[in-house]
Amino acid sequence: MKLYTNNDRFMVWQVKQLLDQHNIPCFIKNEFASGAMGELSPLDCQPEVWLNDASWRPRAEKLIAQMNITTRDEWVCSNCAETNGGNFEVCWQCGQEAQVDQ
C-alpha cells in the first residue's frame, strides 16, 4: 500500500528511515524511475514509500505528521551568514549549530 511520495528522493529516504526505526515494514518503489521520465508519466516516476501491511498505516501516518511538525524553515548561520535548509542542524559551510530560536 502506497504511503508517501515526494519528488525529493532524500525526503522519501527520511520517511523510510523513520519507519525502519519504528520497526514498520516498508520499502521504496520507483527509486530509480526518474531515468524513464518521458517514456513514463512524471507521476509514475516519483519515488514512493510503500507499506508491506496496511494495518501499519495509522501509526506510520502519525509518525510522518510528527516529522513534518518538527521541520523548520531555512535559517541563516549566525557565524558565517550562510543560508541553510531547515533540515540542517549545523551550518553546512562552517559547522556552527543552528540557534534554537530560528
Q: Give the tens place of pLDDT for each residue, 34-72.
A: 555 556 555 666 889 999 999 999 999 999 988 865 556
Q: 66 burial class (0-12, 13-18, 19+ CB within 10 angstroms)?
A: exposed
Q: Which residue has the cell 518503489?
A: 29
pLDDT surpasses 50 at 32: yes
pLDDT at 85: 81
pLDDT at 102: 41
How many Cα atoms occupy the beta-carbon half-sphere of 46 within 13 Å? 14
Backbone phi, then psi, for 58, in 5-degree steps? -60, -45
Pairwise CA distance, residues 56 & 47, whole Å? 20
Nearest Cα to Cα of residue 19 among 48, 75, 60: 60
Backbone phi, then psi, for 7, in 5-degree steps? -65, -25
Pairwise CA distance, residues 12 & 48, whole Å? 7
pLDDT at 46: 83
